[in-house]
Amino acid sequence: MTPGKLRLDIDTTRERLLALGCSYAAEHLDHLLTEAVAEAMAPHAFLDRLLAVEQSGREGRRVKTSLKMSGLPIGQTLENFDFAFQPAIERSRIDTLATGAWIRNAETVLMQGPPGVGKTHLSVALGTRAVEMGFSVLYYRFDELMTALKVDAGLPPAQLKRRRYMNMALLIVDELGFEPMSREEASLFFRLVTYRYGRGAILITTNKSIREWTELLAGDEVLATAILDRLLHRAHVLNIKGRSYRLRDLEEALQRAHA
């Protein structure tokens, strides 16, 4: 076969791949063919490699799009979390959560601890891992979530169920507890927890211990009990105690400045 005819055949194959939506395979076709010839690769092995490139490209695109839609902050992963600095955190428990089984079972993760100990980093890292595994994820700081709940307060149940914070496989609520809720806010939060109970997983980070939730929820003990009853049923509670990462970074910066 002449080089010109071979090039024409490759161009035709690329056009067919593009017509089928296989843009990653089309993009890598030339160099994969070159490798196949150099390695005397069997046709089925070449086809498998071509399909693997397409599958990998599509998966990368899915993850990128899902992460963007999730609202998760960028760059906080399990790989770059400093477990050595925070020995109170059991690495084995985090590794178990990273399997995603609790998300499939619509369970709760409650991370408690003072500011700066890594709660947000871990919640974002677990959310990112969940996206990579194919779960739908939505991240909110609590104040942002409450704004959304207030906007939707008058929606009938049929419309409310279609809201993303209601139907995502995993809802992450970060920084709960910095300000006490009003009675209206506590009721809206109760409605959210009640609807998602048994239907979708929730991860909450908070600087409040469980015994402080009554005060947090407008002083309503009945409402606090009802919310905690749902959240703590089949829950994974992590109490994180230790030094603040931000204070550590500040101390190191001051030491460098005076060195």
Element (H, E) at 43: helix 43-70
Torsion angles phi and psi, residue 155, rounded to 5 = -70, 140
Amino acid 244: pLDDT: 61
Instruction: Assign 250 a pLDDT band (cuts: 50, 70, 90).
Output: very low
Q: Is the model's pLDDT at 4 over the cut of 60?
A: no
Instruction: Assign 246 a pLDDT band (cuts: 50, 70, 90).
Output: low
Maximum Cα–Cα distance across the chain: 83
Q: What is the pLDDT of residues 217-244, one digit of tens each?
A: 999 999 999 999 999 999 999 999 876 6
Amino acid 254: pLDDT: 47
Amino acid 233: pLDDT: 94
Q: What is the pLDDT of residues 47-92, one digit of tens each?
A: 999 999 999 999 999 999 999 999 999 999 999 998 888 888 889 9
Amino acid 226: pLDDT: 96
Closest C-alpha to 164, from 145, 177, 142, 141: 145
Domains of the chain from N-terminus onward: 10-68 (no CATH), 83-247 (3.40.50.300)
Supply the pTM of this predicted model.
Answer: 0.86
